[in-house]
Chain A
Amino acid sequence: MIKKLVSVLALCLLLGAGTTHAGVTLEAFKFDSKAEEQHFKDLIEELRCLVCQNQSLLDSDAELAHDLRAEVYDMIQAGKSDEEIVTFLVERYGDFVLYNPPVKPSTWLIWFGPFVLLLIAAFLLLRAVRRQKNTPTHVITPEERARLDAILGSTPPEQDKQE
């Protein structure tokens, strides 16, 4: 069972490592500078490809990803701001294209849910610790001590003597 689990995990890691930046060869887009190229890459990495949904536009080799990369490139060349480009895509494909979803009522759960869970867990932990502290420690009576010695053997273990 554990062995199986480990091998599955290993496989996931391997596959994960493969996809993170197996990276498709980007089309031969021309950039005036390295910084501009980086800006383009940073932008499309934040955008999700709708065809292979766990890949960004930077990673995906889907037909649509090619088209959308070209579209984003054209918009950058036309001097559009990142915000305008993102709005363009969200208007057509919805918030789904954003790997970084905006904070609004319908996304509160994903944004704040983990913190709420953390708070609940902290509260429960605190309560448990406090409760443990308050339980009176049981003091052994001489009779109980005698019984204990009888069960464990009449002489206490070596280590205890040394201590």
Chain B
Amino acid sequence: MTRYLRYLVPLAIFIVLVAFLYRGLSLDPKRVPSPLVGKPMPEFSLPRLQDAAATISDTDLKGKVSVLNIWATWCVSCRAEHEVLLLLAKSGKADIYGLNYKDERDKAQQWLVQLGNPYVANAFDADGRTGIDWGVYGAPETFIMDQQGIIRHKHIGPLSVDALNNEILPLIAELQSTP
């Protein structure tokens, strides 16, 4: 037995090492899990993108399953994601709100005219303070809240059609069915 051990132990260590390294290949260090998932959404009150005189706050998102998408016109992958948001809006499964993050108002308004507007409403976060409260560290990011306003999911990076069909829509359906 001990004769084999000197070969088996290094082999076992090697296999464990390979398993860890292999797992590492599919981990993205840019995706930092948010401590906010499972907690009530942070409070905020901001001017609306389309109407600076009107405000929008976290209470607007409560009482229904809602989606909050953090975006900006300077964010390249937000443009790639936009079509997926339009698809989600078209499905009518949940209201999509936008947090226009550290952007310029006229550019953002123009963007919505040009690319289409999937949002029910947009909050205009010029200095990014609300973004910090939501733990935003790079746009685009997407949060999904249940009817009580508890954050249930955070998607980091652009939404893909795949993610929409396999993660977002099933979760929304699940949250809709549990009041």
Q: Does A50 contact B (CB under 8 A)?
A: yes
Given A50-B32, A53-B29, A92-B36: 13 more A-B contacts, CB < 8 Å: A51-B137, A51-B138, A53-B30, A64-B128, A64-B137, A67-B127, A68-B132, A71-B129, A91-B35, A92-B133, A93-B137, A94-B34, A94-B35
Q: A111 at the A/B interface (Cβ < 8 Å)?
A: no
B64 interface residue, CB < 8 Å from A? Answer: no
The answer for the CA separation of A90 and B132 in the assembled complex, in Å, is: 11
Residue numbers in B under 8 Å from A91 (CB-CB) = 35-36
B102 near A: Cβ within 8 Å?
yes
Q: Is A163 an interface residue (CB 8 A)?
A: no
Specify which chain B residues have a CB less than 8 angstroms from the CB of A92 in the assembled complex.
35-36, 132-135
Does more than half of chain A's interface fall in helix, strand or loop, or is it mixed?
helix
Which residues of chain B have a CB within 8 Å of any CB of chain A?
29-30, 32-36, 102, 127-129, 132-135, 137-138
Q: Is A96 an interface residue (CB 8 A)?
A: yes
CA distance A120 to B129 in the complex (A): 49
Chain A residues with CB below 8 A from B102, complex form: 63
- B132 A50 Cβ-Cβ under 8 A: no
Shortest B135–chain A CB gap in Å is 4
Q: Binary interface profile of A, 89-122, with partner B (CB < 8 Å = 1, else 0)? A: 0111111100000000000000000000000000
- Cα–Cα, bound, A87→B139 (Å): 23
**Shortest Cβ-Cβ A-B pairs, 3 listed:** A50-B137, A92-B135, A94-B35
Bound state CA distance, A102 and B79, in angstroms?
A: 38
How many A residues face the partner with a CB closer than 8 A? 15
26 A–B contact pairs at CB < 8 A?
A: A50-B32, A50-B137, A51-B137, A51-B138, A63-B102, A64-B137, A67-B127, A67-B128, A68-B132, A90-B35, A91-B35, A91-B36, A92-B132, A92-B133, A92-B135, A93-B32, A93-B34, A93-B35, A93-B135, A94-B32, A94-B33, A94-B34, A94-B35, A94-B135, A95-B35, A96-B32
Tell me which of B32, B33, B102, B133 has the highest count of chain A C-beta atoms within 10 A of its own C-beta. B32
Which of B29, B30, B132, B134 is close to A67, meaning CB atoms less than 8 Å apart?
Answer: B132
Taking the closest CB of chain B, its distance from the CB of A145, in whole angstroms, is: 33
**What separation, in Å, do the CA atoms of A7 and B163 have in the docked complex?**
43
Considering the chains assembled together, what is the distance between the CA atoms of A53 and B63 in angstroms? Answer: 37
Residues of A with C-beta under 8 A to B35: 90-95
List chain B residues, Cβ under 8 A from A53.
29-30
- Identify the closest chain A residue to B131 (Cβ): A67
Partner of A64, one of B34, B134, B138: B138
Chain B residues closer than 8 Å to A68, beta-carbon distance: 132
**Contacting residues, chain A, for B29 (C-beta < 8 A):** 53
Contact A71 B132 (CB under 8 A): yes
Q: CA–CA, A112 to B138, complex, Å?
A: 33
What residues of A have a CB within 8 angstroms of the CB of B34 in the complex?
A: 93-94
Q: What's the nearest-Cβ distance from chain B to residue A110, in Å?
A: 13
Give the Cβ gap from A68 to chain B, nearest Cβ, in Å.
7
Identify the closest chain A residue to B39 (Cβ).
Answer: A91
**A54, B128: Cα distance in complex, Å:** 23
